[in-house]
Amino acid sequence: MVSTPNIKEKYALPEGVDLMRDVAIIGVKNTKYGELWNRSLRQLVVEAGIGAIEDAGVSGKDIDALYVGNMSGGRFIEQEHIGALIADYSGLSKNLHVPATRVEAACASGGLALRQGIMNVASGYGDIVVAAGAEKMTDICSSEASSALAAAADREWEGMAGATFPGLYAMIATLHMHKYGTTSEQLAEVAVKNHRNGAHNPIAQYKNQITVEQVLNSVMVADPLHIFDCSPITDGASALVLVPAEEAHKYTDTPIYIRATAQASDTIALHDRRDITTLDATVVAGKRAYEMAKMGPEDIDLVEVHDCFTIAELCAIEDLGFAEKGKGGIVTAEGETAIGGRIPVNTSGGLKACGHPVGATGIKQAVEIVTQLRGEAGGRQVDGAECGMTHNVGGSGATAAVHILSRDR
């Protein structure tokens, strides 16, 4: 009988490398988020990547792999082969030949790029890995952008029937209101809070503060969602650098450790869901993350959730265990999710105010948590933050990625 080589023998991993190592983040960078007319996708990713590498104190020749989250380069800028493009313009292809991989999971592309980078380092295949995300969404008109985004839903059964993402989330909001008594005012409180947080974030697309009345009086997009209930179309890029946890202090005095990475899937179309007011992929990914970190919601000091629409934030904080099901609106209106509250949510301003360049969002969320845990968040700093969570969703909930980060290993 021929024996099967173990994975170290088969792939000739370095002697003594563990196949499941703890992982840390040692460098982070966001570009400005917004309508960046004079910047290209490649320029944005290079800016974020160089910034993260400089923050980490490493150089391009040290990088073992690159993962780039990007949802729809082909639709937004008519460019595919994004991994190679970014490696080329980052100076990582010629001579260095760094393997670069595009990761796509609709709006969860960034979160899964982070997950792929973590697994690369944890497995022992790489020692210094960059996880990035980027999208350039404003080079086409809004109707074309809406069509591109609709590809993250079920094109045959939803898109072809005229359903857009505002329409799909409006259905979620309508049923949530019917089942639990959630109000438009409570939805508006989400937007008000996130704009208040975004006003203190230098990269945010929107730094203007708004009122509940302004939200309720803004244009109706898909009843009951007003335009101020919706995240914007955004350009931007984010990047971070991952290393084995035992090596992190060689590069920085403030490494942030990955305590958990989790992913789950659900049906792509709403009509096949068990309950459209609960994103089961979020529930399952959250449970897996808590189990991996040996933590519960009570151990999390702040969380960045996927608030593509205000109702999405309410569902997220319920599905992740920060609020009882149906009580997300009450918890928000009472200030429990504000900075200084029981569980600060979306200190960056969230997708709503910071912006939502779809491929970058999952990385930006992690950058925000790292910035908070380092104590470098300025006017939006959560005092004493030790542990944070990110929650990144693809489509209307068909994909969910959850990560837990901590100051302590």
Q: What's the token pair of residue 375? A: 């104590």
Per the CB < 8 A criterion, the answer to whether 113 and 240 are in contact is no
User: Nearest-CA neighbor of 108 among 387, 356, 288, 300?
Assistant: 356
Eight-class DSSP state of 200: T
Beta bridge partners of 13: none
Provide DSSP, 358-386. Answer: TTTHHHHHHHHHHHHHTT--GGG--TT--
Contacts 24+ apart (CB under 8 A), 79-82: 79/41, 82/41
Q: Name the active-site residue from 176, 226, 306, 356.
A: 356
Reply yes or no on whether 356 is catalytic.
yes
Amino acid letter at 244? P
Q: What is the C-alpha to C-alpha distance for residues 308 and 311, in angstroms, rounded to an integer?
A: 8
Beta bridge partners of 28: 240
Q: Name the active-site residue from 107, 315, 354, 387.
A: 107
Per the CB < 8 A criterion, the answer to whether 385 and 301 are in contact is yes
Q: What is the C-alpha to C-alpha distance for residues 313 and 304, in angstroms, rounded to an integer?
A: 9
Question: Strands of 235-244's sheet, edge to edge?
Answer: 100-103, 65-69, 129-136, 235-244, 23-30, 256-265, 399-406, 387-394, 302-304
Q: Residue written as tokens 């089942």? A: 179
Q: What is the C-alpha to C-alpha distance for residues 235 and 40, in angstroms, rounded to an integer?
A: 9
Q: What's the token pair of residue 95? A: 């001579």
Q: What's the token pair of residue 381? A: 């700093």
Reply yes or no on whether 107 is catalytic.
yes
Give the strand pairing for 65-69 and 225-226. Answer: unpaired
Residues serving a catalytic function are 107, 356
